[in-house]
Structure 1
Amino acid sequence: MTPACKVLKSNKIEFSMHEYEHDVNVKNFGLEAADKLGLSVNVVFKTLMVTDDKNYYIAVLPVNHQLSLKKVAQVFGCKKLHMADPKIAERLTGYLVGGISPIGQKKRLKTVICASSRSLEKIYVSGGKRGLDIGLNPNDLAQVLSANFADIIDE
């Protein structure tokens, strides 16, 4: 039971767990999850950490899209953001890269979820370890994270 699962359970949020055998040679964890779980890439979401070198933020978006740093900076009221160092992301979240869940992180960070998720009944995010995804309603995810929805995809 990962910290992400514990948080969802304690908040009485309905979710499903989906495990698969992670291939250590795979570098695109999100696409691997979609492929191995037989899911559309539009419903599998990745968790990315960005920073302005003072504060850190989380963006949750479909695995088949690129994050627009400009759009996400606007969402958080920053001039400019860049991707956080993976080692810092691991330290702040308590999770390993490729298994970073937006839920149950060591330090709760301001989070934005891609607006495209609003039209979906269920999305899949990392469950807190490589080879584990959690399926849940995007509104439940936003509620548990106190997150907003916004257009954060690079077109």
Structure 2
Amino acid sequence: MERKVRGGSVGTPATVALTKAKIVYAVRAYQHDPAAESFGLEAAQALGVEPARVFKTLLVSTGTGLAVGIVPVDRTLDLKAMASTLGVKKVAMADPVAAERSSGYVLGGISPVGQKRLLPTVVDVSAFEHETILVSGGRRGLDIELSPEALVTVTQASHGPIAR
């Protein structure tokens, strides 16, 4: 995979972090439609990729802090499974303002890579069914394609069955 974007270069905290970590990735840009109801499904359609390969980044509150769940865009985060994987009693979806503040990204463009602080992160096991997956590149209309193993390495993530 190359590290170029058609039509120019791009620098987000996510791409900077991947480059610094010497992770092989490809930037996949598309024209974001502000009226899109689902950022992830929009990305899958615009990039011509099956939704099971496009993963969304969701922040949850554990009661003592935030954590990151990464699941396919055509599925939902199983909060009980996420809590179990993290070893906590329960989790709830994080307040959107808290998610943006913690990650440094805007909703619909939250990347699991290059967040302001490294949070406990869990990748759904279905990611490993694919050679490469796509995650947000740090803004709406920008995805990053990389191997699930590279994502786990750069985010120091664990993995578990957290999608339903």
TM-score (norm 1): 0.97
Q: Does 1:105 align with 2:115?
A: yes
Identity percentage over the alignment? 45
Which 4+ residue blocks in structure 1 deviate beyond 2 angstroms?
none
1:29-67 deviation per Cα after TM superposition (whole angstroms, max 9, x unaligned): 000000101100010000000012321000001000011
Q: Does 1:88 align with 2:102?
A: no
Q: Does 1:122 align with 2:132?
A: yes
RMSD: 0.7
Q: Does 1:71 align with 2:81?
A: yes
SS at match of 1:116: helix
Q: Does 1:59 align with 2:72?
A: no
Equivalent residue for 1:2, pick from 12, 18, 24: 12
Unpaired segments ≥5 residues, structure 1: none
TM-score (norm 2): 0.92
- 1:36 aligns with 46
**How many equivalent residue pairs?**
154
Unpaired segments ≥5 residues, structure 2: 1-10
